[in-house]
Chain A
Amino acid sequence: MSTATETHTPVPVRTPVLLRRPKKTTGFWSWFTTVDHKKIGILYACTALIFFVVGGLEALLIRLQLAQPNGNVLTASQYNQLFTMHGTTMVFLLGMPLSVAFANYLVPLMIGARDVAFPRLNAFGYFGFVLGGMFLYSSFLLGGAPNGGWFGYTPLTSTPISLGALPGRGPDFWTIGLIIVGIASTTGAINIIVTALNMRAPGMTLMRIPVFVWMMLVTAFLTLFALPIITVALIMVFFDRNFGTAFFLPTKGGDPLLYQHLFWLFGHPEVYILILPGMGVVSEVLPVFSRKPLFGYPVVVFSGIAIGFLGWGVWAHHMFTTGLGPVAISAFSLSTMLIAIPTGVKIFNWLATVYKGAVRLTTAMYFALGFIAMFTIGGLSGVSLAIVPADTQQHDSYFVVAHFHYVLFGGLVFGLFSGFYYWYPKVFGRMLNERLGKLNFWTMLVGFNLTFFPMHLLGIYGMPRRTYRYPSGFGWDTLNMIATIGGFLIAVSVLIFIVNAIVSRRRGAIAGPDPWDGRTIEWSIPSPPPEYNFVEIPEIQARDDYWHYKYTEDDDGMLVPLPSGGADNVHNAAVTRLAAAPTHPIHMPSPSFYPLLVAVALPILGYAAVFHSKWYAFVLLPIGALTLAFGVYAWAVEPATADEETH
């Protein structure tokens, strides 16, 4: 291309300029083109929290309806839509993306990387998630929301409308919407796996990466392998319903239980996809606020991996009452009990971490301790459900509703709230208000237990779930009323958090780089971190690397601050990481329109699929297909960094 004398003035590489490349990295519009993992993490978190509020409002309507026997706040049809969307929202639009938000923001910071492996794919994952969620919710305006349950059992959902199954387009929106969200989650998982495995700083061996990163790595693998299974099942449901196939229709030789196998083969790993990130957060928070390293790091990590593996072998415990036969059922009963062991190990290790520590009871610590307690209750009721004969009583009763809320709310939500209080100062440079935080915690703990503990009893006393009303005189009235009151207390608690997050953004105390005396390397850089994260990629010497800049142990293993450390100049220890400005240009990936463009194509194609029998499907289909083709092509030829275009 160029002669030796021209090496300093390279010939421009001609790339097809399809859209003028966005340059801005600040301001409102930059959020639509950003590829910065931190901005995308914030987008994920804010969007997931909006869906949390929406799903929560749905839950409040459900609780209002059930506050009294024969409630008439909602119609049966409305109730069925709301409980379907509540479950779908909390699993797919809150739980998974909020975990991804944490992973997005923190994994590169914790392993010493400047961004994720595929920055544009990351942006695409976010836009796919938000547009998929909006697609699902648009069903409320376009002929009825999904009403077949978040589990969408066939043949109820897969029977063609013409044969009198579920009315409305709900199941069509549900299948296509989840496929879109699933595509987004899959790309996110690939990104986290490649980032965590390939982008680690020198010296950051696998047995040195923080437990949170480990748990997100396991989660990402579970996501990567689980989502294809449900995607297949969803496509089969959509085809059964619309195109005359009969995968699940018994009247034409299909098998409705096949769907349950597919759904739960996805659905049970999904449970661990939701809980492992919470376990990861807690494993970071407890050591910092106990001033002790995590007790048994290898055991905690391997327990997490074991849970990830065993999680594939327990799916049929959702199907104990379907008549699988005693041999299969015994096997799944035993495998389910088995998974309690690594879970129990983690709980004991966390307790041992705090034991004999110097415990600072911050809000983050409150939530982490609350996580252990509430998750334990959920784990124990889970063992009870593994006892198959007992499960035949508790299955599909309110006992199960209590159980999985203790796992997913008491576990995941408490864990992620702990994470909010812990990492908010790193993300925004300001502290969340601790007094509001404590109020946030106690209202949530009390509200949560008021809501969900009575549900154990309701289930034991015979109340089935997914029922829009119940008759009076069954002794269920008081317990339901208590649950409803608790639900509103949770709402108050979430409101307190939102106020805290918004107010502290401007008025919170300045955090500084290391407000908690942290152990991991994200605390060694400024808050909020610069776009490039690390001026120099750190050389990692040990697990909890940053802690070793500040402390050592004496001969008895007692904590000793390093002489150069101390309260005032603790941060000088890692001074190179905090240098005010980089001494050389750092090339960061440039913003791009194409991730958004490709993501926009997905719901367009989705509408074409749902309304395939209408004329406008034939308008939407080419628009969506062309957008997709153009976006993918332009993305492929666009260099990751704008500089490369002009060189």
Chain B
Amino acid sequence: MTNHNTPRGRWWLVLAGLATLALAACSPNNGQNSVSPHGTNAKKIDNLILPIWGIAIVIGLIVIGGVVFVAVRYRHRPGNERPKQIRGNIPIEIAWTMVPAVILAVIAIPTVSLIFQTDATPSNPVNITVIGKQWWWQFEYPASNGQKPVQVADELHIPAGRNVDLTLKACDLSLPYGFNNGPGCNVIHSFWVPELAGKRDVVPGRDNHLTLHSDTTGTFQGQCAQYCGLSHANMRFRVIVQSPADYDAWLASQRQGPAVTLANAGDAGTLFSKTFACTNCHISENSSVSTYGPNLTHLASRSTFAGGYYALTRPQLIKWILNAPSLIPMQSKDCRKGPPGTPGATCVGMPSFTTNTPQGMPVMTEQQAGTLADYLLSLK
């Protein structure tokens, strides 16, 4: 057996190596690729699993090759109608029980070791709180040195070379209705940036932790990985790893007041706070406050919006303001009755201002949407 199979065995090894390489090398450069790791944890995972996949591919090929071999080699033909009746062979069966057991034991050691490594509390971390909402992410940079916290949506900035300790929450208790009628407190999300680290669920009622650490700067794609209702597919985000200096500058700019106050925004101010009551769910003058919808104080400093699904451009923003549910499906039928927290209103998401407009509000014109978009895009 082994003698005439040796060349075949080498062939399989080469094939398996090539397959593993192809997996890693030919994979898309999409910023969301688990075999193109940049974060420390993602790299450790990649280093652990690639050789295991190599072994698995070899074993798989041996077994499949074995299936084909026994079927073809021993197919029924004149001369072999009377096979030997073998009912078993205890030593062989013990052997093929033990060999996989040994292989698994060898795999188990680095596995358990890495479980404890990735779960360890990081030293000297940057603390950021992540809050999963339906269907977008809010990132809260805590208050420090007498400065207020900062709330950001969709784009998480972190400094390169530092341990970042993310506290993952599904309940936003700062909202007045957050605890008893908590849209966003109803679902589990999962925070996943494949190129930086493995995922960790965001479970209502618990504070989970995840450590990010990346020495390379760049923009990495993330996405909610746990089914969280209607628009789960659209719950994307980005992690922007910056040099510490850039990161500090960015955070400082986010702590600033708005570039334009509503009082100085002219028509847009009236439309935003009165006509369409955007202020029911959003705030655009104070980056430290958590609101039902994303905090818009520095919206224009971001490159994406709407759960990170769309690029932040004027035409896209106008479409969104006019009829958000047509771009991202939301449970917004009830938003007509009033903002979240209104008794009887089970609004999840943003209403349309062109069809089924909220009670007592006019249909929004494209011009009004343009005015609002210009205002929002001025909020650097």
Contacts and interface: CB of A to CB of B under 8 A. Distances in A.
Contacts of B97: 341, 344-345
Contact of A295 (B42, B86, B331, B348): B86
B186 A475 contact: no
A75 B327 CA distance: 11
Contacts of B80: 358
Contacts of B362: none
B363 to A, nearest CB: 24
A460 B35 contact: yes
Contacts of A553: 85
Contact of A461 (B30, B48, B75): B30
A166 B186 CA distance: 9
A461 B186 contact: no
B183 A322 contact: no
Contacts, number: 329
Given A322-B203, A357-B83, A392-B118, A161 B48 contact: no
A163 interface: yes
Given A355-B74, A373-B63, A474-B28, A165 B186 contact: yes
Contacts of B85: 292-293, 553, 557-559
Interface string A449-463: 000000001001110
Contacts of A349: 93
B131 to A, nearest CB: 14
B32 A474 contact: yes
A219 interface: no
Interface string B69-81: 0110011100011
A646 interface: no
Contacts of B93: 296, 299, 345, 348-349
Given A256-B203, A298-B88, A470 B74 contact: no
A510 interface: no
Contacts of A333: 108, 111-112, 115
A588 interface: no
A396 B233 contact: no
B162 interface: no
A384 interface: yes
B180 interface: yes
A198 interface: no
Nearest to B65: A373
Contact of B96 (A255, A344, A464): A344
A466 interface: yes
Interface stretch (B138-146, B188-196, B245-253): B188-196
Contacts of A369: 67, 71
Contact of B198 (A163, A290, A340, A392): A392
B45 A389 contact: yes
A296 B95 CA distance: 13
Interface stretch (B150-158, B219-227, B261-269, B282-290): B219-227
A619 interface: no
Contact of B30 (A163, A292, A462): A462
A153 interface: yes
A251 B179 contact: yes
B83 A559 contact: yes
B75 to A, nearest CB: 5
B118 A251 contact: no
Nearest to B104: A337
A296 B89 contact: yes
Interface residues of B, number: 103
Contacts of B111: 330, 333, 386-389
B360 to A, nearest CB: 21
Contact of B45 (A299, A390, A465, A468): A390
A361 B71 contact: yes
A251 B171 contact: yes
A297 B88 contact: yes
A357 B74 contact: yes
B225 A291 contact: no
A557 B221 CA distance: 64
B227 A149 contact: yes
A344 B223 CA distance: 35
A77 interface: yes
Interface string B326-355: 000101001000001000101110000000
Nearest to B173: A251
A323 B204 contact: no
Contact of B49 (A156, A338, A387): A387
B216 to A, nearest CB: 17
Contacts of A283: none
Interface string B304-329: 00000100000000000000000001
A351 B63 CA distance: 8
A334 to B, nearest CB: 6
A300 to B, nearest CB: 9
Given A333-B108, A475-B28, A326 B229 contact: no
A389 B233 contact: no
Interface string B101-118: 100100110011011101
A321 B199 contact: yes
Contacts of B71: 354, 359, 361, 365, 369
B30 A474 contact: yes
A389 B29 CA distance: 22
B180 to A, nearest CB: 6
B225 A163 contact: no
A93 interface: no
B70 A341 contact: no
A27 interface: no
B104 A372 contact: no
B256 interface: no
A464 B223 contact: yes
Contacts of A358: 74, 76, 80-83
Nearest to A80: B230
Contacts of A557: 84-86
Contacts of A393: 34, 42, 45, 49, 194, 198-199
Nearest to B344: A162
User: Most chain-A Cβ atoms within 10 A of its Cβ — which of B41, B87, B185?
Assistant: B87
Contacts of B76: 291, 358-361
A464 B224 contact: yes
B63 A164 contact: no
Interface stretch (A224-232, A375-383, A495-503): A375-383
Nearest to A154: B188
A586 interface: no
A569 interface: no
Interface in B213-243: 221, 223-234, 236
B165 interface: no
A484 B86 CA distance: 44
Contacts of B42: 393
B171 A392 contact: no
B94 to A, nearest CB: 9
A197 interface: no
Contacts of B21: none
A337 B118 contact: no
Contacts of A6: none
A326 B115 contact: yes
Contacts of B35: 460-461
B154 to A, nearest CB: 14
A460 B190 contact: no
Contacts of B187: 155-156, 165
B238 to A, nearest CB: 12
A390 B48 contact: yes
Contacts of A397: 34, 225
B33 interface: yes
Contacts of A365: 71
Interface string A539-578: 0000000000000010011111000000000000000000
17 contacts: A153-B188, A156-B186, A164-B347, A250-B206, A256-B188, A292-B85, A299-B88, A340-B100, A351-B67, A359-B76, A369-B67, A372-B67, A383-B56, A387-B48, A397-B34, A461-B30, A474-B28
Give 4 closest A-B pairs by Cβ, nearest first: A475-B28, A392-B198, A250-B205, A462-B32
Given A330-B112, A393-B34, 5 more contacts: A354-B74, A357-B74, A357-B83, A476-B30, A559-B81
